[in-house]
Amino acid sequence: MKIIDSCSQDNKVRRSLHNSIYDGTAWAAMTGLTQDFVVPFALALKATVSQVALLSGIPNLLAALAQLRTPELVHKLGSRKRVILPMVFLQAMMWVPILAIPYLISSHQAWWLIALFTLVHPLRYSRQPRLGQFDV
């Protein structure tokens, strides 16, 4: 009986490691295809230096604050999965209006980018635990 339980546990660990590789690959692709191109996108929208600074600063501040609230949300909802799935979906859907800014909005495009990216960024990082927070 213990041998079967051990094999079952090994399969779970192996599957978890396999899924972790897929998750890491998707994370790297998402970050490489989005975050690195936000500032050039803002410059293409004629953002000023001050607006680029706000685009770089405000989302990171709000992401750090969102990470502080995540453990309470996980505790309230009962599992990380119930937190992560809606946030991943919302984050992905928020890129649609961001990419549509040049086509749908004629004025203050950089400000719209700052506002929408400020909403996306905390969704990205609030589903990650802070360092040492894996016991929640």
pTM to 2 decimals?
0.75
Residue 5 has pLDDT above 70, yes or no: no
- Secondary structure in 3-state letters for the chain: CHHHHHHHHHHHHHHHHHHHHHHHHHHHHHHHHHHHHHHHHHHHCCCCHHHHHHHHHHHHHHHHHHHHHHHHHHHHHCCHHHHHHHHHHHHHHHHHHHHHHHHHCCCCHHHHHHHHHHHHHHHHHHCCCCCCCCCC
Reported as a single tens digit per residue, the pLDDT across 43-78 is 999 999 999 999 989 988 888 888 888 888 888 888
- Give dist(CA 60, CA 79) in Å, integer: 25
Residue 66 burial (CB count, 10 A): 19
Residue 24 has pLDDT above 60, yes or no: yes
- Give dist(CA 134, CA 93) in Å, integer: 27
What are the backbone dihedrals phi and psi of residue 41, each rounded to the nearest 5 degrees, phi first?
-65, -40
What are the backbone dihedrals phi and psi of residue 105, each rounded to the nearest 5 degrees, phi first?
-120, 130
Reported as a single tens digit per residue, the pLDDT across 85-127 is 888 888 889 899 999 999 999 999 999 999 999 988 887 766 6
Q: End-to-end alpha-carbon separation of the chain, Å? A: 31
pLDDT at 47: 96
